[in-house]
């Protein structure tokens, strides 16, 4: 990516780069620094700065109410994951890290010393969404993210979620996801907006 931007000759088109900013991964930080340097030299290259794909879903303000029905037993069984998500998202969003929040996140993930923020976000998102139609792992994204509500083949009668009473079309899901995450701000910051 760095080479491509450095050697870019085209000035007619606008290039938007969405690059993971795993701020605690030294290699990613160095690559992003170089990428920004070369992008700043071009009038038609902009960089959208996100933590990572998994974090976008993790920070989605309606995540918990979408994946779990109000009386879902997972709300109790996954209360530690829900609390760790809240601490992590609040800390990153506000930029304020308290010792207590860091300690609680570390208690959630005993291997945190071996993980960077992308790996932690991925693990946390998987722990929250596993065994639901919204399941996200490094290799899959659940049908409930990419289809209109209740259009997935393997849906069982007892598979319910927070959207069961207010089913959404795929377009409406994507619009709410855009509006309920930092994507809206980030894309607007580089001159892009989702219309309609």
Question: Which residues, 6 or more positions from 50, have their beta carbon under 8 angstroms from its beta carbon?
Answer: 18, 19, 20, 21, 56, 182, 183, 186
Task: Supply the DSSP symbol for 89.
Answer: H
pLDDT-derived band at 28 (thresholds 50, 70, 90) equals confident
pTM: 0.81
Using CA atoms, how far apart are residues 85 and 87, in angstroms rounded to an integer? Answer: 5
**Residue range 175-181: mean pLDDT, rounded:** 93
| Pair 190, 43: CB distance under 8 Å | no
pLDDT score of 129? 95
Mean pLDDT estimate for the chain? 85
**Residue range 149-167: mean pLDDT, rounded:** 80
Q: Nearest-CA neighbor of 35 among 52, 51, 18?
A: 18
pLDDT at 194 over 80: no
Higher pLDDT, 116 or 120: 120
pLDDT at 23 over 90: no
């Amino acid at each position: 990516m760095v080479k491509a931007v450095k050697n870019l000759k085209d000035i007619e088109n606008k290039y938007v780069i969405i690059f993971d900013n795993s701020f605690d991964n030294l290699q990613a930080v160095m690559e992003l620094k170089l990428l920004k340097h070369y992008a700043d030299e071009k009038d038609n290259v902009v960089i959208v700065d996100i933590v990572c794909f998994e974090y976008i879903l993790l920070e989605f303000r309606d995540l918990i109410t979408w994946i779990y029905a109000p009386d879902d037993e997972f709300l109790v069984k996954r209360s530690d994951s829900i609390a760790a998500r809240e601490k992590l998202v609040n800390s990153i969003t506000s930029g304020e890290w308290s010792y207590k929040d860091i300690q609680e996140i570390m208690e959630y993930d005993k291997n945190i010393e071996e993980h960077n923020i992308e790996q932690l976000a991925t693990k946390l998102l998987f722990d929250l969404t596993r065994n639901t139609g919204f399941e996200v792992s490094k290799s899959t994204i659940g049908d409930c993210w990419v289809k209109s509500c209740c259009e997935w083949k393997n849906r069982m009668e007892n598979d319910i979620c927070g959207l069961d009473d207010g089913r959404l079309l795929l377009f409406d899901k994507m619009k709410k996801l855009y509006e309920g995450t930092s994507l809206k701000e980030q894309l607007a910051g580089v001159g892009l907006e989702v219309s309609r």
